[in-house]
Amino acid sequence: VLLLAVLADALALAAQANAVPALKAEDLPSNVIQFVKTDSATDVNALAHITGSPEIVFAVVTSHAHHADKAKSVLDTWCSDIYACAFFSDEHNPSNEPTTSELKLTDHGFKPEDNVDSQVGNQLRHIVALKKARDMVMDPTHADKLGKMKWLVLCTDDTYIFYHNLAQTLSSFNSTDLVYTGNVISGTEDEEGNGIVNIGGGAAFSKAALLEMSNLGSCISAARPGGKWWGLMPDSIVGECAYEAG
């Protein structure tokens, strides 16, 4: 089974550590911002803000309504000098601040007849973004940027990560083990203390756990209208999917 560890203190947004100094987008190296003139869900858009081969990669889920405020704030603050954030949205961001990878639900298992409204669609995009991130990690053509990745953190444009705290905490685990961890939502714990991780605080997957989740396609189907997970919050969909994988 996937190992869930309760790290409420270590991963909490209120962690007591100095935040990474913020940089503006114009201060970033020229090879960080890649201006891609396309509206398709291309991998190059998702990789635009990733430089080098980071061991921790962040999949940030946003929406077009928040490209200019929440998503840009993430880019300009805690993502500013770690060069390890991939932004997934319902639309491509014309300003490229941040550059976003467009994920249409209908390209990833949902059907037009599902008639999912935009608010629900934004919630369901988390499980789709996780599947897309997994596909990219498995793609050997992305080995230059993702080949050394040990951890994938799924989060939102409301998340604030204290990177050095997180890195130190994750270093106590082995990324070759099946680990799915973060702030466990109160009331979801089983008798061993394992439960559903709050994506808002960041849900961390070891590379081994991410690769183990070959069931993500069926999880997306389960989240469709009429599916067993329809109506669940994204945290629960992702958590149940992680449990089923193990």
* pLDDT score recorded for residue 6: 40
Residues 68-108: tens digit of each pLDDT: 999 999 999 999 999 999 999 999 999 999 999 999 998 88
Q: What is the pLDDT of residue 193?
A: 83
| Residue 91 Ramachandran class (φ > 0 left, ψ -120 to 50 alpha, else beta) | beta
Query: Structure tokens of 127?
Result: 């499980």
CA gap 235, 177 in Å, rounded? 22
pLDDT recorded at residue 82: 97
52: confidence class by pLDDT, cuts 50, 70, 90: very high
Distance CA 172, CA 61 (A): 26
When pLDDT is averaged across residues 42-47 and rounded to a whole number, the result is 88
Q: Which amino acid type is present at position 80? A: S
Residue 3 has φ and ψ, to the nearest 5°, of: -85, 125
Q: Is the pLDDT of residue 14 over 80?
A: no
Residue 206 pLDDT > 60, yes or no?
yes
Q: How far apart are CA 204 and CA 153, in angstroms?
A: 4
CB contact set of 69 (below 8 Å; sequence gap of 6+): none
Distance (Å) of CA 119 to CA 79, 143, 174: 25, 34, 37
Name beta bridge partners: 84. 50
More confident residue, 40 or 85: 85
pLDDT, mean of residues 135-161 = 96
Predicted confidence band of residue 191 (pLDDT cuts 50, 70, 90): confident
pTM of the predicted model over 0.95? no
Residue with tokens 């935009």: 118
Asked if pLDDT for residue 151 goes beyond 70, the answer is: yes
CA distances from 168 to 157, 164, 171, 191, 232 (A): 23, 6, 5, 27, 32
Please state the rounded mean pLDDT for residues 178-187: 94
Exposure string of 43-52, with b = 16+ CB inside 10 Å and e = fewer, is bebbbbbbee
Asked if residues 154 and 182 have their Cβ atoms less than 8 Å apart, the reply is: no
SS3 percent helix, strand, coil of the chain, rounded to 5, is 40, 15, 50
* Average confidence score pLDDT of the chain: 85
**pLDDT at 42 (0 to 100):** 64
